[in-house]
């Protein structure tokens, strides 16, 4: 690579620090001493990719191996993208500035559907053919992983393989196999055949899909004897044995999550029927309190960061939360280290803790009722009553807070106009609690209740995976109903409301539950210039609609029909832990508005017990 030309380009782009590498704790090895070069990619800008815990974990895991050097790459922003194309500079790794195409592996974490065109950008700028079937022995093995790999089909033709599950379990076996095949003189195909036998590995080219006349899937069958009929998701059954990075990368730039992250547990017991993470990361598995204390000390020492955040889907469910938070406050509170506590239920303990670690006059509290009516919260199995919400708000207001954020969803299954208007009514009740609770002389002006709604998107491996969605116009009508209802509330001057982009939601719905035929639309949209679709200033819905039309793919087929329970779904070949029988049972309970107790109250037989660990075995010797 011509370093002079690269340096000249960097002087002319926004935030050149995105592209230079060399951050504290980054790993540099002698390429002549390693057998495997692995490039880890987050297909979005540096500031977002550097905030992702999963890449930090895998980066540490791979670089602990003496035979492997893991480096990184992120999506170049528009200005850098244009400059690299203009000057013929290939995408390169941050650690060594080696062209990505010269790596043995390119591992891409797929966190959200709206980054799909960015994945094609990464491949094209690297000089790697977009379609896996067109790659030769000079190309790296392209691996996909992360939440979107639970329905890999829309992106199937662009990846050599997908890793389904948690990386700590099978990556060592995969890398060892690569060395073995390479030593024996085998090429890409030989490696992929052997890799397909490793649990959690899915090689799309080894499967054929046939469709019925109505467009639904007739069958998906292996075309290679090495490929299993079902791919089993893999996970760490005991978090106390899982390694955790003690020297995470420290970014040069201000990033989205500019703090040390302490993962306290994986999984969730709550069983919200809309939540994919709560289903596919089962069972709940906790890290030990003593390990977390040691990690906290080492992380802050090795990074120099002044903030530590607890990471989990539901921090309040961590059984040693009180002891951990007390330790963090006592150990680091006087050292000007801030403590971030996301995903907490708002109860007396949480508020007490937050008042000790936050400036309550400046901060706002977040509640996620998800739905405006109790009926609707029962349908989604939220496990939260209006009394819970209002009593939590009352405690917060007594504690000095006067700003509250409320998160809701619109377009949920069985939703009625009454449920929709209930969002405004609940926001009004929260405001009312403030005026009923805080004496006039103690108020800091008006209470601020900011409500926002996203449009519900059914995801694979949730009880709502069979649900229908709505058109753009119907979504906007729902949002306007809420908006009008907000204006009609008694405390409307204390209420603010905003809603998510309907066009993005419609597209995300297709990408979330699409099959292989959607891949042609993604490629077409990319060639029309679609990129950074999760960024509102970059999203171009018109180009996407042109791509759907050009490829003859109907959005309504994927979004507007309620699927039958016996339909073959694009992701049915994956064993994600939770059984289809459990998901069907929960879908039927949702339609009957029945609440299902959480895992610690009563086991529901979801299928996760087969992993042999976590909450399923709590209290057993």
Which three-class secondary structure state does DSSP give residue 228?
coil
Q: Are residues 211 and 105 in the same domain?
A: yes
| Residues linked to residue 449 through DSSP beta bridges, in sequence order | 404, 495
pLDDT tier at 340 (50, 70, 90 boundaries)?
confident
* Runs of H (alpha helix) within 127-201: 171-183, 188-195
Q: Are residues 195 and 300 in the same domain?
A: no
* pLDDT > 70? residue 283: yes
Q: What pLDDT score does 318 carry?
A: 94
Asked whether residue 19 is domain-assigned, the answer is yes
CA distance 437 to 447: 11
Q: Are residues 197 and 321 in the same domain?
A: no
pLDDT tier at 349 (50, 70, 90 boundaries)?
confident
Q: Are 486 and 420 in contact (CB under 8 A)?
A: no
* pLDDT > 80? residue 361: no
CA distance 45 to 77: 6
Q: Are residues 336 and 299 in the same domain?
A: yes
Last residue of a domain, one of 180, 197, 232: 232
* pLDDT > 80? residue 594: yes
Backbone angles phi, psi at 235, to 5 degrees: -150, 165
| Residues linked to residue 114 through DSSP beta bridges, in sequence order | none
Q: What pLDDT score does 2 carry?
A: 67
Asked whether residue 242 is domain-assigned, the answer is no
Locate 500 and state its tokens.
């998510």
* CA nearest neighbour of 422 among 377, 455, 392: 377
* CA nearest neighbour of 571 among 135, 202, 174, 129: 202
Mean predicted confidence (pLDDT) in 288-309: 95
Mean predicted confidence (pLDDT) in 223-232: 98
Q: What pLDDT score does 290 carry?
A: 97
Q: Are residues 318 and 202 in the same domain?
A: no
Over the stretch 107-150, which tens digit does the pLDDT of each residue have?
Answer: 999 999 999 999 999 999 999 999 999 999 999 999 999 999 99
Own/partner pairs, 517-521, CB within 8 angstroms, 24+ separation = 517/551, 517/553, 518/153, 518/154, 518/553, 518/558, 519/153, 519/154, 519/155, 519/156, 519/157, 519/158, 520/551, 520/553, 521/547, 521/548, 521/551, 521/553
pLDDT tier at 359 (50, 70, 90 boundaries)?
confident
Asked whether residue 338 is domain-assigned, the answer is yes
What pTM was estimated for this model as a whole? 0.96
Asked whether residue 249 is domain-assigned, the answer is no
Asked whether residue 581 is domain-assigned, the answer is yes
Helix (H) or strand (E) segment spanning residue 301 = helix 289-303
pLDDT tier at 353 (50, 70, 90 boundaries)?
confident
Q: How many Cα atoms are found within 13 Å in the side-chain-facing hemisphere of 301?
A: 9
Q: Are residues 215 and 338 in the same domain?
A: no
For the domain that residue 348 is a member of, what is the CATH number?
Answer: 3.30.750.210
Q: To 10 degrees, the CA torsion angle through 526, 532, 536, 541?
A: 10
Asked whether residue 174 is domain-assigned, the answer is yes
Locate 303 and state its tokens.
């990074």
The number of folded domains in the chain is 2
Q: Are residues 38 and 145 in the same domain?
A: yes
Mean predicted confidence (pLDDT) in 244-267: 93
Q: What pLDDT score does 1 carry?
A: 58
Asked whether residue 490 is domain-assigned, the answer is no
Q: Are residues 273 and 208 in the same domain?
A: no
Through-space distance between the first and last CA atoms of the chain, rounded to whole angstroms:
58
Q: Are residues 226 and 274 in the same domain?
A: no
Q: How many Cα atoms are found within 13 Å in the side-chain-facing hemisphere of 447?
A: 31
Q: Are residues 269 and 339 in the same domain?
A: yes
Mean of pLDDT over the chain: 95
* CA nearest neighbour of 126 among 154, 158, 101: 101
Q: Are residues 228 and 272 in the same domain?
A: no
Over the stretch 378-431, which tens digit does the pLDDT of each residue have?
Answer: 999 998 999 999 999 999 999 889 999 999 999 999 999 999 999 999 999 999
The position carrying tokens 């299954």 is: 413
Q: Are residues 93 and 192 in the same domain?
A: yes
Over the stretch 188-207, which tens digit does the pLDDT of each residue have?
Answer: 999 999 999 999 999 999 99
The position carrying tokens 């993005």 is: 504
Asked whether residue 388 is domain-assigned, the answer is no
CA 295 to chain centre: 24
Supply the range of the domain harboring residue 329.
259-357+577-621
């Amino acid at each position: 690579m011509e370093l002079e030309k690269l340096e000249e380009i960097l002087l002319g782009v926004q935030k050149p620090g995105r592209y230079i590498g060399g951050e504290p704790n980054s790993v540099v090895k002698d390429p002549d001493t390693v057998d495997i070069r692995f490039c880890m990619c987050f297909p979005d800008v540096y500031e977002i990719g550097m905030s992702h815990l999963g890449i930090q974990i895998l980066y540490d895991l791979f670089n602990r191996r003496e035979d492997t050097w893991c480096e990184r790459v992120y999506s170049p922003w528009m200005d850098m993208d244009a400059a690299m194309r203009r000057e013929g500079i290939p995408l390169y790794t941050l650690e060594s500035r080696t062209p990505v195409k010269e790596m043995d592996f390119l591992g891409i974490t797929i966190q959200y559907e709206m980054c799909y065109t960015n994945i094609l950008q990464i491949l094209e700028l690297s000089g790697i053919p977009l379609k896996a079937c067109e790659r030769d022995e000079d190309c790296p093995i392209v691996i996909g992983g992360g939440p979107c790999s639970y329905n890999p089909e829309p992106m199937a033709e662009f990846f050599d393989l997908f890793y389904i599950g948690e990386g700590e379990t099978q990556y060592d076996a995969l890398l060892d196999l690569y060395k073995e095949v390479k030593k024996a003189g085998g090429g890409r195909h030989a490696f992929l055949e052997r890799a397909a036998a490793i649990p959690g590995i899915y090689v799309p080219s080894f499967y054929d899909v046939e469709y019925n006349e109505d467009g639904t899937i007739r069958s998906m069958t292996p075309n290679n004897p090495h490929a299993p009929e079902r791919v089993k998701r893999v996970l760490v059954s005991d978090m106390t044995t899982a390694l955790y990075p003690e020297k995470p990368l420290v970014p040069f730039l201000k990033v989205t999550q500019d703090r040390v992250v302490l993962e306290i547990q994986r999984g969730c017991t709550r069983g919200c029927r809309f939540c994919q993470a709560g289903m596919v990361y089962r069972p709940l598995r906790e890290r030990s309190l003593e390990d977390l204390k040691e990690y906290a000390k080492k992380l802050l020492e090795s990074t120099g960061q002044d903030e530590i955040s607890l990471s989990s889907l539901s921090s309040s469910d961590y059984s040693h939360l009180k002891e951990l938070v007390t330790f963090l406050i006592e150990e680091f509170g006087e050292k000007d280290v801030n403590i971030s506590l996301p995903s907490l239920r708002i109860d007396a303990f949480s508020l007490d803790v937050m008042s000790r670690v936050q400036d309550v006059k400046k901060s706002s509290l977040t509640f996620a009722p998800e739905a405006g009516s109790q009926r609707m919260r029962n349908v989604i199995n939220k496990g939260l009553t209006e009394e819970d919400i209002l009593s939590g708000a009352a405690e917060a207001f007594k504690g000095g807070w006067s700003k509250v954020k409320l998160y809701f969803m619109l377009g949920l299954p069985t939703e009625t106009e009454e449920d929709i208007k209930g969002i405004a009514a609940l926001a009004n009740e929260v405001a009312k609690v403030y005026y009923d609770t805080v004496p006039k002389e103690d108020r800091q002006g008006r209470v601020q209740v900011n409500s926002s709604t996203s449009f519900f998107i059914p995801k694979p491996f949730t009880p709502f995976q069979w649900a229908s969605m709505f058109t753009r116009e119907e979504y906007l009508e729902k949002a306007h109903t809420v908006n009008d209802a907000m204006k009609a509330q008694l405390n409307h001057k204390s209420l603010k409301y905003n809603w998510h982009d309907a066009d993005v939601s419609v597209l995300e719905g297709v990408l979330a539950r699409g099959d292989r035929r959607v891949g042609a639309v993604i490629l077409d949209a990319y060639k029309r210039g679609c990129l950074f679709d999760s960024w509102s200033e970059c999203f171009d819905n018109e180009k996407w609609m042109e791509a759907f039309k050009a490829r003859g793919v109907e959005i309504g087929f994927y979004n507007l029909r309620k699927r039958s329970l016996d339909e073959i779904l694009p992701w049915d070949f994956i064993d994600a832990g939770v059984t289809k029988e459990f998901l069907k049972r929960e879908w039927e309970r949702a339609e009957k508005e029945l609440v299902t107790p959480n895992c610690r109250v009563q086991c529901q037989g979801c299928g996760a017990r087969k992993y042999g660990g976590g909450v399923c075995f709590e209290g057993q010797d």
